[in-house]
Amino acid sequence: GGAAKEAFSGRTMFIFAAIGSAVGLGNIWRFPYVAFDNGGGAFIIPYLVALLTAGIPLLMLDYAIGHRYRGSAPLSFRRLHPKLETIGWWQLMICVVIAIYYALIIGWAMQYTVFSFSKAWGSDPAAFFMNDYMKVSDQVTIGFDFIWPVFIATAIAWLVLLVVLMLGVQNGIGKLNVVLIPLLVVMFLIMVGMALTLPGAAAGLDALFTPSWSALGDSSVWVAAYGQIFFSLSVGFGIMVTYASYLKPRSDLSGSALVVGFANSSFEILAGIGVFAALGFMATASGTQVSEVATSGIGLAFIAFPAIISQAPFGTLIGVLFFGALAFAGFTSLISIVEVIVAGVRDKLGLSRPAAVSLVVLPLAVISLLFFPTTTGLNLLDVVDAFVNNFGIAAAALISVLLLTSGFTALPTLRDHINSVSSFKLGRTWMIMAGGVTPVILGYILIDQLTKTVAEGYNDMPQWFVNTFGWGMAVGIVVIAYLLSRLPWSRRTGDGFTS
């Protein structure tokens, strides 16, 4: 027998945790601009097609693997077939990479929540963020010039994470999500309501929703839709496998996937409305076009929003709600990312939760704090984030799906498993979507991204830097994954499949 398996007390806890993982920075700062930039109102078509043909089917696949094989990603894949263990470690290594920079962004969001009171960014939020706050070095390199306020904020994020993970699946992860997700939704609804009353909000909504139907003929728009869905639902990198392994044996899997999938997309569309209403105000206030101010990521959250907060009535409240929501959404995603690593290490070494949490969180926090809250951290974040998302996640998902369809005859087993516990039964359509449509599209996305990045380099950054932290990291984690799969399992885990 192995260590007693932890569990969520019920399906509600699991659904909150899964929504907490899915709703993250991708929903708030990525979706609005991706939709705007890829056909506006017309984007809804590729987006829904991607959700239904790949997102939800893959979510169900992840749930089925974790729930049937009842282990972390490496253990579940190993139980599926011993040759697949490397896939589980590859997904886990993707989580390692994401975790070390995600914590920094949460640190920023917490600090900007406080800055909203004094509007610390003054009249030039861009200069403030780059020069005064992050003190970005003009050299693209690795240095250890720490920025102490950012260091402390990032360290606080790691500390809270450590405590919540120590408390366990039910009392830590489950309870945290049950509290934070409703709070996040309420805060966000108020923020969106306030943004909609700002002068110029309608211009923002027009810019977001006016359909450009010709975009539907452009393959890059479809690539963007599938890319957004994969990232936003947290599918294909171990998170949903891990969380589903904590569900009780009789739990409705396909029904849960539908709830989580639609909840995540609803939040995403809500964020689009709020962000573009606010950008419409900003454009109107500065007498320019929405397309001039529309942006995503760091530029949206830490440069455009501060400008909006400075000019809008009740700006401080908008700021606290926006940055607070960003911190909460990020934190509930980060916790799911780190739990993938904790669960994998725990299974492999047969450790107790406190031992596994310490062994994982402390080194991750040290690496994260050493490399990111520094004057060179921003460029590193940029490259690592782009490569792990554009190549890592797509490649790992593609290879897993290909292996599951070819040779291992896993799909029918997993479908039967889902049907034996779920209300919504899956038939041949699911197999075609998960095993046929998804790999073709993932393959296309991957080739598209690879050819572009090889031809154009990345963001004009020095080639050695991109080679090391982009390509080198992407290949390095596969090698590490393979080596980890060669290490022996603890006798206590008992990695055989019994049940």
The residues binding ligand MET (CB under 6 A) are 22, 24-27, 98, 231-232, 234, 333, 337
Largest CA distance in the chain: 68
Q: How many Cβ atoms are within 10 Å of 75's Cβ, its own excluded? A: 27
Say what angle helices 253-285 and 175-196 make with each other, to 10 degrees: 30
Smallest gap from Cβ 457 to ligand MET, in A, equals 24
CA 34 from centre of chain: 15
CA 486 from centre of chain: 28
> Closer CB to ligand MET, residue 36 or residue 102?
102
> Closer CB to ligand MET, residue 53 or residue 232?
232
| Rounded distance between C-alpha atoms, residue 137 and residue 125, angstroms | 17
> Closer CB to ligand MET, residue 102 or residue 371?
102
Smallest gap from Cβ 435 to ligand MET, in A, equals 23
Smallest gap from Cβ 107 to ligand MET, in A, equals 16
- Reference 1, options 492, 498, 497; nearest CA is 492
| Rounded distance between C-alpha atoms, residue 350 and residue 346, angstroms | 5
Report CA torsion sign: 390, 391, 394, 397. negative
Token readout for 395 is: 């490649």
> Closer CB to ligand MET, residue 26 or residue 227?
26
**Residue 146, H or E segment:** none
Smallest gap from Cβ 21 to ligand MET, in A, equals 6
> Do residues 169 and 247 lie in contact, with contact meaning Cβ atoms separated by under 8 Å?
no
> Closer CB to ligand MET, residue 2 or residue 227?
227
- Reference 3, options 168, 178, 133; nearest CA is 168
> Closer CB to ligand MET, residue 332 or residue 493?
332
Smallest gap from Cβ 131 to ligand MET, in A, equals 28
> Closer CB to ligand MET, residue 96 or residue 309?
96
| Rounded distance between C-alpha atoms, residue 93 and residue 278, angstroms | 37
Smallest gap from Cβ 95 to ligand MET, in A, equals 8
Smallest gap from Cβ 113 to ligand MET, in A, equals 18
> Do residues 61 and 404 lie in contact, with contact meaning Cβ atoms separated by under 8 Å?
yes
Helices (H) and strands (E) in the chain, counts: 26, 0
Smallest gap from Cβ 410 to ligand MET, in A, equals 24
Residue 146 phi/psi, 5-degree rounding, is: -75, 150
Three-class SS of residue 313?
Answer: coil
Smallest gap from Cβ 110 to ligand MET, in A, equals 17
Say what angle helices 11-22 and 253-285 make with each other, to 10 degrees: 40
> Do residues 161 and 369 lie in contact, with contact meaning Cβ atoms separated by under 8 Å?
no
> Closer CB to ligand MET, residue 24 or residue 274?
24
Smallest gap from Cβ 328 to ligand MET, in A, equals 12
> Do residues 97 and 473 lie in contact, with contact meaning Cβ atoms separated by under 8 Å?
yes
> Closer CB to ligand MET, residue 21 or residue 284?
21
> Closer CB to ligand MET, residue 26 or residue 40?
26
